[in-house]
Amino acid sequence: MALFFTLQLVLSLILAKVDSELVPTYFARKYKNGSYVDATMQSNRLEISLHSMSIERSSVAKLKVEPSLVKNAQYAVVSWEGVVNAQAIDFVALYCPETSANNDYYDYFEVGESPTYREGFGNRSVQLYNVRTNCEMRYFRNHILEKRQELVAKSNIIIFEGGPEMPLQIHLALTGDPTEMRVMWVSGTDETPIVKFGRNETVLHLSAKGKSKTYTIKEFCSIKGKFIHPGFIHDVLLKDLQPSTLYYYSCGVLGHMSKVRTFKTAPVTGPDVGFKFIVFGDHGILPAAHSTAKHLLREVKNGYEFIFHNGDISYARGMAYIWEQWHALIEPYSSIVPYMVGIGNHEQDHLDNSSKDPSGVTGDGWHPRWGNFGDDSNGECGVPMFHRFHMPDNGNFVWWYSFDYGMVHFIMISTEHDLSPESRQYKWLEKDLKKVNRLKTPWVILGGHRPMYSSEINPGNFIVTLAFQCLFENLLHKYNVDVAFWAHYHSYERTCAVYRKECRDDGTVHIVIGTAGKEADLLPYLPFPWLEYYRFFDPYGYGRVTLANRSALHFEYFVNSENKVVDEVWLYKKMTFK
């Protein structure tokens, strides 16, 4: 057994894990072995060189998309017929808007996927996302040896339900004030955004107006990937609400309002009133992420009050259609409970020196010599996160902030920014912790992306955990942080209450839960004395936290495939704060 473990260790050191950065194509194309095509690899992109710019008059081929009027994220059937001398490598490509140049496509699929392609007809089901414009499909004959293509047929125009004014990607956010709620969404119009709301579903007698913004590819630190105009991002703050109260709301612009949804305001700070929330990291849009989303919708309908997502959000990495797909995936629950986010390496890290990073750093960001902080955002450098989310305004936008919720003080930090004692983030964190009133919020919960404690055998990331322990573990201990949630590793582990690698009553419980949907880590772990539970096989799931009262907290790790909790712990505290 010892020999086996040693071999595992050696193999892991040789094959040190690099964070998975694969980004699926729009249609999630796969190779024959079942692995996904990586859209960020330029070699996977087909350059279309047309033999003819227009369809030959003699062509009898037809290409059709049904239905032609589709809802956001709806499946439609693409069918073709009458194609003469069809080849398996012929392909059908998607264009939005329909006037796009032939090389400016979103994605394509080869007609050989249809068993009847040799007979000149076939079909495929595709999922289409509203990008606030019309679209069309085009069939190309692919003369691969001659390195040219021939346009065979164009489809009918694809129109999205609700038009460009349709409210999309609706999500809520807390501000730290229980009398407020922030509503955000995207549409194709910059008309004044409005939210109508009230406590009666049929009488939304209150209204609030907000602001709109957008961003362009010129704001990215480097230009990579497939940029899609994000539309106009609308931000409306609702004020003068009653705490712990159910409200109904509809958002949009006059004449184009969303269906009525609900939200519940936060409780007032302090009272011994229980609540529940969800925590996880590393989501994305792969099948496991869809499984997590299905379970999360059930959870929020069963009383979980908000979501705490600590980094690696959509994994777009410059492929903007991923943001469209990810927001559509989470909207069923992000539109009814607050969705609180933190930054991850795949949203933030960059290597250029353009000074475009909106987080306020200079140069190419934070790249300590002991770290493995690379170009994981593929040029995004936090720009989409900065514009798409509005977190509480007491820190540095989405990068670090805090808020009170009932009897808990929550803190989100950025592990992608300097955390050394002289850094502005460290100084902010210390100031924030110092202000906590433990009589009102006896529990302090911190979230970040890269963990401070992990037992996974991953040399590069393990060195980062040791550095974090040196940089700011003393600060967490000094101010009695109860629980720290992390991600980055696509696995799950939970420590005892630990400080300086020792289990002790005044330590912090560290929980790594980067299990929401990205490819699982398959690395073994070291049996450190502070490790209480670890899972790397089929880890997909999320954390459920119940604040029972001022002295008891219950954490559960729920695994999707087993549809049950596989690890749980009760944390208790003595009320000795003055």
Whether residue 10 is predicted with pLDDT greater than 80 in this model: the reply is no
Which residues are CB-neighbours of 132 under 8 A, at least 6 positions away? 160, 164, 166, 168, 186, 187, 188, 229, 231
Lateral strand order in the sheet of 74-81: 62-66, 74-81, 122-128
- Provide the pLDDT confidence category of residue 575 given band limits of 50, 70 and 90: low
- Provide the pLDDT confidence category of residue 4 given band limits of 50, 70 and 90: very low
Q: Does domain 44-160 have CATH number 1.10.10.60?
A: no
Longest dimension (CA), the chain: 87
% of the chain beyond a pLDDT of 90: 89
| pLDDT number for residue 147 | 83
| Average pLDDT estimate for 269-297 | 97
Phi, then psi, of 63 in degrees rounded to 5: -130, 130
- Provide the pLDDT confidence category of residue 65 given band limits of 50, 70 and 90: very high
| Average pLDDT estimate for 368-377 | 96
Q: Does domain 276-572 have CATH number 3.30.70.100?
A: no
| pLDDT number for residue 58 | 53
Whether residue 368 is predicted with pLDDT greater than 90 in this model: the reply is yes
| Average pLDDT estimate for 370-388 | 97
- Provide the pLDDT confidence category of residue 56 given band limits of 50, 70 and 90: low
Q: Note the pLDDT tens digit of each residue in 71-114.
A: 999 999 999 999 999 999 999 999 999 999 999 999 999 999 99
Question: What is the overall mean pLDDT for the chain?
Answer: 93
**SS3 category, 439:** coil
Cα(31)–Cα(106) distance, integer angstroms: 18
Cα(498)–Cα(493) distance, integer angstroms: 13
Contact (CB, 8 A) for 551 and 523:
no
Q: Note the pLDDT tens digit of each residue in 430-443.
A: 999 999 999 999 99
| pLDDT number for residue 11 | 42
Contact (CB, 8 A) for 114 and 92:
no
| Average pLDDT estimate for 559-569 | 98
Q: What's the half-sphere exposure (Cβ side, CA atoms, 13 Å) at 78? A: 27
| Average pLDDT estimate for 391-395 | 98
Q: Note the pLDDT tens digit of each residue in 115-126.
A: 999 999 999 999
**SS3 category, 331:** helix
| pLDDT number for residue 53 | 54
Q: How many residues does the chain have?
A: 578
Q: Note the pLDDT tens digit of each residue in 139-190.
A: 999 988 888 899 999 999 999 999 999 999 999 999 999 999 999 999 999 9
Whether residue 300 is predicted with pLDDT greater than 60 in this model: the reply is yes
Kindly list the domain boundaries of the chain, sorted by start residue: 44-160, 276-572
| Average pLDDT estimate for 528-556 | 97
Q: Note the pLDDT tens digit of each residue in 470-528.
A: 999 999 999 999 999 999 999 999 999 999 999 999 999 999 999 999 999 988 899 99
DSSP string for residues in 420-434: STTSHHHHHHHHHHH
Specify the higher pLDDT residue, 10 or 512.
512
